[in-house]
């Protein structure tokens, strides 16, 4: 009955699904942060208002109560 060792429980499958969702959300977050990296360079003339707050809100998505199921993505308005 060694084939039973390869069978995952519902809890294990759910944990894998949550980890996959979390990894996808982090990848999206990282991509959005990367899109604004150039604003943070020391030789950039003037950082638009709200960029630092937007980047912090992106870093904080993992602290949201619904993460990773329900994420309220911040919007950069500049």
- Give the domain extent around 42: 29-73
Which pLDDT does position 55 carry in this prediction?
Answer: 97
> How many whole angstroms separate alpha carbon 50 and alpha carbon 55?
9
Provide CB contacts within 8 A for 48, sequence distance 6+.
39, 78
- Judged by DSSP in three states, 63 sits in helix
Cα gap 59→51, rounded to integer Å? 12
pLDDT in tens, 12-41: 999 999 999 999 999 999 999 999 999 999
Please indicate, yes or no, if residue 10 is contained in any of the structural domains: no
pLDDT in tens, 42-62: 999 999 999 999 999 999 999
Task: Tell whether 68 is covered by a domain.
Answer: yes
Alpha helices in 1-78 (DSSP H): 10-35, 51-59
Q: Is 59 within a domain? A: yes
Count: domains in the chain: 1
Mean pLDDT on 1-14: 82
Q: Looking at the predicted structure, is the pLDDT value of residue 1 above 70?
A: no
């Amino acid at each position: 009955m060694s084939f039973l060792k390869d069978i995952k429980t519902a809890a294990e499958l759910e944990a894998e699904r949550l980890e996959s969702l979390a990894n996808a959300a982090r990848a999206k977050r990282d991509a959005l942060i990367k899109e604004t990296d150039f604003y943070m360079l020391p030789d950039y003339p003037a950082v638009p208002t709200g960029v630092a707050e937007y980047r912090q809100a992106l870093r904080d998505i993992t602290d949201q109560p619904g993460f990773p199921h329900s994420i309220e993505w911040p919007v950069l308005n500049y």
